[in-house]
A and B are shown apart, each in its own frame.
Chain A
Amino acid sequence: MEHTIDEHGSHGGFVSRYVFSQDHKVIGLQYLITGLIMALLGGIIAVIFRSQLAWPNREVLSPEAYNSFVTMHGTLMVFWVAMPVLIGGFGNFCIPLMIGARDMAFPTLNMLSYWTFFLSSIVILVSFFVPGGAVSAGWTAYAPLSVDARFTGVNWGMSLWLVALILEFASMLMGGVNYITTIFNLRAKGLTLMRLPMLVWMEMIAAVLFMFSVGPLIAGGGLALLDKSIGTHFFRVTAEGQGDPVLWQHLFWFFGHPEVYVVLIPGLGIIAEVITACGRKALHGYKAIVYSTIAAGVLSFVVWAHHMFVAGLNPLLAVGFSITTILISIPFFILSVAFGLTLWGGSIRITSSFLFALGGYLIFIIGGVTGLFLGAQTADIYLHDTYFVVAHFHYTFFSSIIMGTIAGIYHWFPKMFGRKMNETLGKVHAVGTFIFYNLFAFPLFFLGLAGHPRRYSSALEYDFLAKYQWIHHLATGAAIILVALQIIFIYNFFKSMFTGEKAEKNPWRATTLEWLAESPPVHGNWGNASPVVENGPYEYSVEGDSDDFRPQGKLIPTHVKH
């Protein structure tokens, strides 16, 4: 464990400061920017294959390429966007600042984590260009389709996919050890667990969920790699041995369901931070939110087979899994009500970050309630693997991965770069993103109800689907505009980075500790002082106070020996 605290802010040259840096803020930004580049890539991929869906007769993509693109879109968005941005990016940037630490518990491990992730990103991108193309078995990579090159013609693509995935998990495991250790051990004086900002709680719960759930998939990935490369018999059914294809699904989804909460709840944490700072009001039901998120996390370990209701699961087991799945609506319902009550009676500043947080919150509600359709196993007989599923998980993921992330970027941009982003462009971006996202994703629910199976490169083959081709036109049009709109964001991001309005320490007049640091914070975060926490994280508009917020703590000078 190393603690490189240097009150003069810098040591070493450019490379050790910005490339192989051990500073949590630099690593956080590295994660964030890598993730956003991957997001852009994922978005462009999505636009390409959506064009194929809208105009199947033009043959935008061959069926093989279509499957590859769909697979890579899902893979990139979940593993190379959601994880690095929400866990790697905001986790690294915000956790030490919010808990008043000078850095992560293990800075070297942290650096190693990023560079392992970087390596995995290279591997996954390279897999596009190997003979046979990228993996085309869906992001869930169901065996035996995925583990035998005879079935898809993809050989190297799949091996690289598995290698990249295992590298990525190794990276996130290093990160997870770091986050949990840091949060438990390096909190500032006075910062009890129940005074942690909500984002820190959410990052911690997400890291715990990830660390406890990823093992079986690492095991499964290793076994699949053996199947793929040397011909073992885990998931393949051959003359020599009866492997079990469904075993892969169990291993995948045992990780897969906690994983969707891993990428969901940090986004909700960001939304909580933003709506309190903009609403000038304490987070209502703080403890209820914490406990219900923990409850949802625990429940998420016993719902995985709801992805497999029609995959030959024992029907009695399916009943159990269905009930646990429906039960999970309760903690998330509590959480949503708490957010709503936080807005109620506030004095809301409508900023870009607030608009994104609000949009994310509304989208999350739709994503949440539509989960009930799929959790009820009898409805799932019909809706399973249709566009209804696609629409549902886009609503849940988008709320956190895109809306939450962008809300977070607008919110912490001043802390990251010492300048503010342009608010006008930000609001246009927010409203546009919300409208066109809904125009793109909401119609997909109807396609699902009409029985449109997912991962079809053309709907025109079927009479009962061909009449809904207009929905594909609508969705594709909206998706193109949605991706194009992000140009505003990219422009705003880079323009503001260099020429934006200079931000003071606490531009949003928020309470949590990170706003006590300089913008951007110096190396070691607090200089010659260290924070001491005196009250809860969201003491806004306290009666009798002259100001409408009471910072969570204050900086106490420390004696620094040289």
Chain B
Amino acid sequence: MSEKHRIIAPPPPVQGSNGDDGWNNDFPDSDIKKHNVARFAIMLLIFSEMMIFAGLISAYLILKFNNTTNWPSAGQPRYPQEATLINTIILLLSGVLMFLFRRSLNRNLQFSKLSGLLIACCVLGIVFLVLQGQEWLKLISYGLTITSSVYGSIFYSIIGFHAIHVLIAVVWLIWASRLVIASKFSGHLINLDICGIFWYFVVLLWPLLYGVIYF
């Protein structure tokens, strides 16, 4: 957005208007306001994403309930509970790093330290994806594919959908850490912030999926 469009000056005080909770619309470009609007929007988006996952999880529960006697489906391997525990810890750890990053961002610590935290967070995200991929390859070699049974279909769909979210978030994080390394983030605080919120969503969703799906 170019400077040319930031044109509105504060209006004169208005007489006689009642106390209100409405925004003063003549500061559409003030940073604080933009920040709040962006946060509001990402929260809305996350909420509707959560409803998609709610739909998937209830589909999982219903299918499991319908097939209680045949779960996992005959001849199919169990979901890898132990291996995924390591993965869960890795992802949660990256969430902790994100927390530390955001805290130091607020305290305005040195850039070098900041970029280290963010890069570590990215790396853990990538490790999560790689380990997940390995697990999938192993499962496929044991005969659990997306078409082999209900058990496989729902597993790959839900976990895969989450993995897509992790992938998007990781790409976003890489882009963000590039900014931080170049120390350019002052103009992109909003983006860094909502990227972090999205990462929280992806990380915090995982233990729920792990608990519900794998056990």
Complex A–B touching at CB under 8 A: yes
Within 8 A of B (CB), among A230-251: 230-234, 240-244, 247, 250-251
Cβ-defined partner of B41 (8 Å) among A102, A181, A219, A530: A181
Residues of A within 8 A of B (CB): 1-7, 100-102, 105-106, 173, 176-178, 180-181, 184-193, 211-220, 222-223, 226, 230-234, 240-244, 247, 250-251, 254, 530-534, 556, 558-562
Contact with A along B57-77 (1 / 0, CB 8 A): 011001100110010010000
Chain B positions within 8 Å of A6 at CB level: 5
Q: How far is the CB of A1 from chain B (nearest CB, A)?
A: 5
A558 and B23 in contact (CB under 8 A), knowing A189-B14, A243-B63, A251-B55?
no
Cβ-defined partner of A561 (8 Å) among B9, B22, B38, B62: B9
The answer to whether B29 and A3 touch across the interface, beta carbons within 8 angstroms, is yes
CB nearest neighbor in B for A246: B62
The verdict on B146 contacting chain A, using a C-beta distance below 8 Å, is yes
CB nearest neighbor in A for B148: A240
The answer to whether A192 and B21 touch across the interface, beta carbons within 8 angstroms, is yes
A241 and B150 in contact (CB under 8 A), knowing A216-B52, A247-B63?
yes
Chain A positions within 8 Å of B5 at CB level: 2-6
With A101-B28, A192-B18, A219-B55 given, name 13 new contacts (CB 8 A): A2-B5, A173-B45, A181-B40, A190-B17, A191-B20, A215-B51, A219-B56, A226-B157, A232-B147, A233-B149, A234-B59, A241-B73, A243-B150
A220 and B59 in contact (CB under 8 A), knowing A5-B8, A192-B21?
yes
CB nearest neighbor in B for A234: B153
The answer to whether B41 and A244 touch across the interface, beta carbons within 8 angstroms, is no
Chain A positions within 8 Å of B8 at CB level: 5, 530, 558, 560-561
Number of B interface residues in the complex (CB < 8 A): 58
CA distance A6 to B7 in the complex (A): 9
The answer to whether B28 and A192 touch across the interface, beta carbons within 8 angstroms, is no
Cβ-defined partner of A250 (8 Å) among B24, B50, B62: B62
CA distance A181 to B28 in the complex (A): 13
The answer to whether A190 and B22 touch across the interface, beta carbons within 8 angstroms, is yes
Q: How far is the CB of A166 from chain B (nearest CB, A)?
A: 11
Q: How far is the CB of B200 from chain A (nearest CB, A)?
A: 18
A226 and B146 in contact (CB under 8 A), knowing A233-B153, A561-B7?
yes
CB nearest neighbor in B for A211: B48
The answer to whether B44 and A102 touch across the interface, beta carbons within 8 angstroms, is no
The answer to whether A215 and B25 touch across the interface, beta carbons within 8 angstroms, is no
Cβ-defined partner of B48 (8 Å) among A105, A184, A214, A560: A214
The answer to whether B14 and A190 touch across the interface, beta carbons within 8 angstroms, is yes
The answer to whether B26 and A534 touch across the interface, beta carbons within 8 angstroms, is no
9 examples of A-B residue contacts, CB within 8 angstroms: A1-B34, A177-B45, A184-B40, A232-B153, A234-B59, A240-B148, A242-B67, A254-B55, A556-B14
The answer to whether B55 and A218 touch across the interface, beta carbons within 8 angstroms, is yes
The answer to whether A220 and B55 touch across the interface, beta carbons within 8 angstroms, is yes
The answer to whether B17 and A242 touch across the interface, beta carbons within 8 angstroms, is no
Chain A positions within 8 Å of B62 at CB level: 244, 247, 250
CA distance A193 to B26 in the complex (A): 18
A232 and B146 in contact (CB under 8 A), knowing A186-B25, A560-B9?
yes
CA distance A251 to B157 in the complex (A): 16
Contact with A along B1-33 (1 / 0, CB 8 A): 100010111011010111011111110110001
The answer to whether A185 and B40 touch across the interface, beta carbons within 8 angstroms, is yes
CA distance A296 to B212 in the complex (A): 32
CA distance A3 to B37 in the complex (A): 12
Chain B positions within 8 Å of A5 at CB level: 5, 7-8, 28
CA distance A180 to B45 in the complex (A): 11
CA distance A419 to B51 in the complex (A): 44
Chain B positions within 8 Å of A184 at CB level: 40
Cβ-defined partner of B51 (8 Å) among A100, A216, A530, A561: A216
CA distance A185 to B32 in the complex (A): 12
The verdict on B36 contacting chain A, using a C-beta distance below 8 Å, is yes
CA distance A213 to B51 in the complex (A): 7
Cβ-defined partner of A530 (8 Å) among B11, B70, B153: B11
The verdict on B53 contacting chain A, using a C-beta distance below 8 Å, is yes
CA distance A143 to B70 in the complex (A): 22
The answer to whether B59 and A223 touch across the interface, beta carbons within 8 angstroms, is yes
Chain B positions within 8 Å of A193 at CB level: 21
A212 and B47 in contact (CB under 8 A), knowing A5-B5, A106-B41, A534-B16?
yes
A216 and B55 in contact (CB under 8 A), knowing A102-B28, A181-B37, A190-B20?
yes
CA distance A369 to B4 in the complex (A): 56
Chain B positions within 8 Å of A232 at CB level: 146-147, 153, 157
CB nearest neighbor in B for A553: B17
Chain A positions within 8 Å of B25 at CB level: 100-102, 186-189, 530-531
Chain B positions within 8 Å of A216 at CB level: 51-52, 54-55, 58
CA distance A250 to B28 in the complex (A): 42
CA distance A534 to B153 in the complex (A): 58
CB nearest neighbor in B for A240: B149
Chain A positions within 8 Å of B151 at CB level: 241
Q: How far is the CB of A526 from chain B (nearest CB, A)?
A: 9
A3 and B1 in contact (CB under 8 A), knowing A212-B47, A219-B59, A231-B147?
yes
Q: How far is the CB of A466 from chain B (nearest CB, A)?
A: 41
